[in-house]
Structures are given as C-alpha cells and as structure tokens.
Amino acid sequence: MTRLPWVVGVSGASGTPYARAVLGGLLDAGLPVDLVVSRAARLTLLDETGIRFRDSHWATDLAAWLDREVAAADVVCWPPTDLAAGPSSGSYQTRGMVVIPASTASVAGIAVGLSKDLLQRAADVTLKEGRPLVVVPRETPYTRATLQHLLELHDAGAVVLPASPGFYGAPASVHQLVDFVAAKVLDVLGVPHDLMTRWTGRLGAALTDHDGAPPGAGPVP
C-alpha cells in the first residue's frame, strides 16, 4: 500500500502548541505525516518548550515534543534546507499540507511562490497540484501586506484558518483552547477527532454539561 502522508510545516511564529496538537490528531487517526520544521521554528520551539529540534536526532526530539513514541512508519522528517526532499516535487504524492503556525514571512513566501526553503516549496507544490493547503496564521495584528498575501492564498485555493479559538465549549484550560484550533484544522482536512466540544444549538449547553451551572450567553453560531 502506497504511503500517502499529510505534510505538516511548522514555521517560526509563536504557537508551536498548535502544531503539536495537529500532529497528535493526525497520528491518533492513524495517518502518516511528513514533517518540515523551519530553522526559525526550531528557535521558537526551543523558546516555548526548551526542546532542541535537531535533524540528526529528530525522532528523539519529536517524541519529547509530542510526549509520545513515534514509529518510523508514522513520521518522516525532512530538513528545511533540503530542496530535493520528497515534498518538493509534485510527483511525490501527499494528501495535502498544513502550515501551522504560519508566520507572516512564510505567508508572504508562499503567496508569491518564493520557495526559499522546503516549507515554502512544499506549500507551492501543494497549490500547483490542486491538493488541500491549510494555512494557520497566528500573529496579530496584520499589516496591509499580510492581509493581501492571505487573500492571495485564499484566491489560489488555500484555506486560511487563523488561530482563533472559540469559547462556547466552556474551556477550562489553555490546552482546550489550543485543541479547539487544532480541531478546526482537522475538520477542514476531514480527519476524525474528539478534540473539542461542538456547538449543539443550545445556549449554555457546555456550561451545564460541565458543572451544572445555569446557561449563560451563547455564541453567535
């Protein structure tokens, strides 16, 4: 059976917990992953988690980051400078790609087809081959240039999915807010999961379900 992975690109924006949650969701669903962690993302990961992500020890470092054992068949990690890597070619088959978090620099590079590293090249290949591309920007506020780049990605067929968590599930922790964003990404990819409390059409349902409290103000569906 041909291996058909999702490509996950992690860029240098703050927000590595979002990438961790999506990676976990894909692996929990039994789906293989091709991982590209940019050079800037490695600095962010070190800053946010204390974990050094090294090409020569990526399996050990990934297991430490995800806090789980990762089988060799489940994940292939490509160096960000390897422009001869599998995902750099359209003939290398994948299900599509997620860039999470997506820095404004990566957004700009993908939008203009710069392909300055493997993350940008893989995203460009995903678009040109008509495969799903989900871009998850986290930085805020946006400049006019970034808004234009996001619009260009939308017009090219990408799904722009800002890291904006919802609160109607009555989250009790930062972890649940992170999982909400990861859940929205997995929904777009069509990957089953149980990462979030879904809207049921009943105001305050999550509050009542969690602790028996009376319904409060609900979301705007």
Q: pLDDT tens, 76-133?
A: 999 999 999 999 999 999 999 999 999 999 999 999 999 999 999 999 999 999 999 9
Counting the structural domains of the chain, the total is 1
Residue 216 lies in a domain: no
The pLDDT > 70 percentage for the chain reads 94
CA 1 to centroid of chain Cα atoms: 26
Q: 127 lies in a domain?
A: yes
pLDDT at residue 220 above 60? no
* Mean pLDDT calculated for residue range 44-69: 98
Identify whether 1 is part of a domain: no
In whole angstroms, give the CA distance from residue 213 to residue 208.
5
pTM score, whole prediction: 0.93
Compute the average pLDDT of residues 185-193.
98
Residue 214 pLDDT level (bands cut at 50, 70, 90): very low
Q: How far is CA 31 from the centre of its chain?
A: 14
Average pLDDT rounded to a whole number, residues 22-26: 98
Task: Assign residue 26 the CATH number of its domain.
Answer: 3.40.50.1950
**Would 19 be classed as within a structural domain?**
yes
Between 207 and 130, the more confident residue is: 130
pLDDT score, position 65: 98
Q: Residues 151-186: pLDDT tens digits?
A: 999 999 999 999 999 999 999 999 999 999 999 999
- The pLDDT, as a whole number, for residue 210 is 59
pLDDT at 174: 97
Does the pLDDT value for residue 218 go beyond 70? no
- Residue 82 inside a domain? The answer is yes
Q: Which residue matches tokens 């999550």?
A: 206
pLDDT at residue 203 is higher than 60: yes
Q: Which of 150, 147, 180 lies closest to 163, judged by CA?
A: 180
Identify the domain containing residue 132 by its residue range: 6-211
What percent of the chain lies above the pLDDT cut of 90? 90
pLDDT single digits (tens) 73-87: 999 999 999 999 999
Q: What is the DSSP letter of 167?
A: -
DSSP H or E segment with residue 78: strand 75-78
Residue 221 falls inside a structural domain: no
Length of the chain: 221
Residue 59: inside a domain: yes
Distance CA 14, CA 80 (A): 18
Q: Is the pLDDT of residue 213 over 50?
A: no
